[in-house]
Amino acid sequence: MSLRIRRLAIAAPLAEGVAVAMLTALLPALLASGRGTLVYQIMAAQRLALWVGPIGGFLVCALAGWWVARLGPDAERNGLALGIIVAVLDLALLTLSGAPFGALMVLSAIGRVAGGYAGGWWAGRRLSALAVPLAARTP
């Protein structure tokens, strides 16, 4: 029953950084498309960010949770720990930036925790699937 501290210390800031980079890349991508006016593109980026933030956070945390938890004991616990750490980082960044507290902030944090847990579950499931054939071979 141990947490993989080194992997958590690497994956948590990296997962949050990738999620923020995905959100940051929205506006330049929309500006490069050249559709509509600048104000229209900024408004479109804001609407799209409402979906990209929580969904991207879930996916990034699921992948990072899988990486943290793979080939180790307590896979689900390690994935959950990653999700909680990334959610706390996300809430801290949003609070420090002056964003108003709202349902989207809660949804984003819940998505990150659920993503980390799902990644840990996935890693644990794959680990147990690999262990079954080995156990079947023993006399």
Domain boundaries, the chain: 5-134
Q: pLDDT at residue 34 above 80?
A: no
Q: Look at 18-22, 55-59, 79-83, 100-104 and tell me which has the smallest mean pLDDT.
A: 100-104
Which pLDDT tens digit goes with each residue over 38-87? 888 888 888 888 888 899 999 999 999 999 998 888 899 999 999 999 99
Query: What are the distances in angstroms from CA 118 to CA 31, 35, 50, 65, 126?
Result: 34, 37, 22, 7, 12
Burial class (CB in 10 A: 0-12, 13-18, 19+), 139: exposed
| pTM score of the predicted model | 0.83
Q: Specify whether the CB–CB gap between 69 and 123 falls below 8 A.
A: yes
Tokens 């141990």, residue? Answer: 2
The span from the first CA to the last CA of the chain, in angstroms, equals 29
Quick one: pLDDT band at residue 139, thresholds 50, 70, 90?
A: low
pLDDT of residue 24: 87
